[in-house]
Amino acid sequence: MAILKSSTSRRTASDYSAKTIQVLEGLEPVRKRPGMYIGSTDIGGLHETLREIIDNAVDEALAGFAKNIWISLNPDNSATVIDDGRGIPVDIMPQYKKSALEIVMTKLHAGGKFGGSAYKISGGLHGVGSSVVNALSEWMQVEVKRNGKIFRQEYQRGVPKTKVLEVKKSNGPFPNVSLGLKTGTIVTFLPDRKVFLTLEFDFDVIKRAIRERAYLVPSLYFHLFDLRGEKRELHYYFEGGITSLVSKLNDNKEPLHKPIFIKKQEKDVEIEVALQYNNGYSENVESYVNVINTVNGGTHLTGFRMALTRAINDYGKKIGSFKNDEDSITGDDTREGLTAVVFVKMPQDKIQFEGQTKGKLGNAEIQPLVQTIVKEGLSTYFEENPGEGRRILEKVYLAAKARLAAKAAKEAILRKGALEGSSLPGKLADCQEKDPAISELYIVEGDSAGGSAKQGRDRKFQAILPIGGKILNTERARLDKIIEHEELKNLIIALGMGIGESVRFDKLRYHRIIVMTDADVDGEHIETLILTFFYRHLPEVLKEGFLYIAQPPLYKIQIGKEILYAYSDEDKERIINEKSKQSTANRLQQKGNAEAVVGKRTAVSIQRYKGLGEMNPEQLWETTMNPQNRILKQVTIDDAEEADAVFTMLMGDEVPPRKHFIQSNAKMATLDI
């Protein structure tokens, strides 16, 4: 493992006082336009409030002080965050004649992150996190433990209800934790129901955010407690930092070498990179700035990729694997089977994000910095580990051969006019509408169901593409094999956006792609194969929310002359019970109690659909394709790490993890015997 380190300076608790706090403006704009500060007022904005308070605690760890962070989701929908850092300063700020704690919690842009003396780096909302959350909370309470004393202040919608008072004991949800703190901060807040559409925190969302931060800040212990309903708790601690994260991302895959770790600081910017190749075909690269997940990449990711390509090419030429430029590999070749994390730590006031969502880093100076550090680190690694270097070289060389084979296969198809859109697949029944925003493509299992769908559809905006049975498992196939597979080739042509290095998302012909398979084991398998294809090779479709799964009915229920459809067993029981009660009530009303008891009951006929082909075109339209009645499930990626692990486990080459999953979940399976 190659490790490049440089020393960093640490500040003492005495340096963190009211003198380090600067103020820019008040809180008035926050309640008027909360979306400007936390993104939205839906469940996403709700979770942002808790992340901001958590990140303030993480900042104490990044500064070298906090070792533990406790998070509690409380029964009244409030949340508590505790850290054992230095504690927010409580001494008086002369220019305001108020405690620094009150200023930090009630003034926008007030905090130790401005001016650069208290925090070198941070992950919060440019230092406004605490005050913004306070302004958007029905109430908030902050307790600070410093110098052997406990100080407390309470707020209501950002306005102090009390002065900063010294108290004898904490009244937070973890008295034992509070008693054990020598120094630290305890923040409890209840989001304002007048601001947010929901007040219920999602345990899994918070869990993912905490796990992510635990990987980024090694040796920081996170303790998560859910005190609502069924009590739950989780603890995260990783000494390996992003190296541990890379190992986790490669679970159930066959790594080709131990993780490579590169770390170096240049002035006030620190770069960390961990990478490891596996025997798979997909790329999994995550990038961060401080503790912010830059989901759309940016200059740091660009610099990493350029360095990786250059370092591997240089090493190949040095040992004689590449004799000329024609043998050189491209950036796409280095991505096959690559798992990596790029982590940049830098002063908060120097970060430039593209857009309000912080999804992409825009600092131009970061690209050459990352490129230089990663290139030097990889070159050193290859020199010191020639065996692993050759293994990586063989991996990317095979990827290059596959790329050339895929290019040849694609060119052969292009010569036939297939992938250019000039000749759509014969199986495709296209729609009349040319606007992708209005157009729908149904991917239908089997020719029989495809025929019914073609007859029952609204041809103005609904296109139908039947696929014959189980398609290629693209988790285990390179691009050249995918292009040669007839069913997938038809799908790629129908979509119109290409595949691989030639993908052009703006050419996608349908903005609603609907997978419609039978409600049985085979249908679910086909559905999984299609999802694997999109997730691994056209992930933009999922990221934009264009992929859906149709929900055909499981039962046709006929009660007298009335026909109803049930989409689950629970739905079936509900319909029968409701109709039975309604029928009894009608008989009681029409015939009188005595006669109704012995009256003739209405016959109930129940048909279990085993496949889409059992429905005629009118039924298929009415139950599954009519926008007024149908049920569609939108496919999204909430947790990229978990999604990657699931696809690898279910569809990858490694059998033991899949066997363990089946054994663990067998009792949950509903078998149609």
Counting beta carbons within 10 angstroms of the beta carbon of residue 224, is it exposed (0 to 12), middle (13 to 18) or buried (19 or more)? buried
**Residues near 83 by beta carbon (within 8 Å), at least 6 away in sequence:** 56, 57, 60, 61, 66, 68, 69, 70, 184, 185
Measured in degrees and rounded to the nearest 5, phi and psi for residue 206 equal -65, -40
Q: Would you say 361 and 300 are in contact if contact means Cβ atoms under 8 Å apart?
A: yes
Known catalytic residue at 445? yes
Q: Would you say 223 and 233 are in contact if contact means Cβ atoms under 8 Å apart?
A: yes
Q: Would you say 511 and 462 are in contact if contact means Cβ atoms under 8 Å apart?
A: no
User: Active-site residue among 458, 522, 653, 654?
Assistant: 522
Q: Which helix (H) or strand (E) holds 443?
A: strand 440-445
How far apart, in Å, are the Cα atoms of 94 and each of 147, 190, 266, 303?
21, 31, 37, 46
For the four alpha carbons of 442, 448, 449 and 455, in that order, the dihedral sign comes to positive
Closest C-alpha to 334, from 260, 412, 395, 425: 395
| DSSP character string of 275-302 | EEEBSSS--EEEEEETTEE-TT-BHHHH
Q: Would you say 459 and 498 are in contact if contact means Cβ atoms under 8 Å apart?
A: no
Q: Would you say 513 and 541 are in contact if contact means Cβ atoms under 8 Å apart?
A: yes
Q: Would you say 441 and 514 are in contact if contact means Cβ atoms under 8 Å apart?
A: yes
The SS3 of residue 149 is strand
User: Active-site residue among 518, 527, 641, 644?
Assistant: 518
How far apart CA 657 and CA 647 sit, in angstroms, is: 11
Strands (E), 499-572: 512-516, 547-550, 555-559, 562-566
Known catalytic residue at 202? no
Q: Would you say 616 and 454 are in contact if contact means Cβ atoms under 8 Å apart?
A: no
Known catalytic residue at 520? yes
Residue with tokens 């895959």: 253
Strands (E), 542-630: 547-550, 555-559, 562-566, 604-608
Neighbouring-strand partners of residue 559: 562, 604
Neighbouring-strand partners of residue 555: 566, 608
User: Active-site residue among 60, 286, 445, 527?
Assistant: 445
How far apart CA 302 and CA 477 sit, in angstroms, is: 27
How far apart, in Å, are the Cα atoms of 373 and each of 4, 247, 265?
9, 22, 9
How far apart CA 345 and CA 289 sit, in angstroms, is: 6
Known catalytic residue at 430? no
Q: Which amino acid is at 163?
A: K
User: Active-site residue among 251, 458, 520, 654?
Assistant: 520
CA angle, residues 543, 546, 548, in degrees to nearest 5: 110
Residues annotated as catalytic (active site), given as ranges: 445, 518, 520, 522
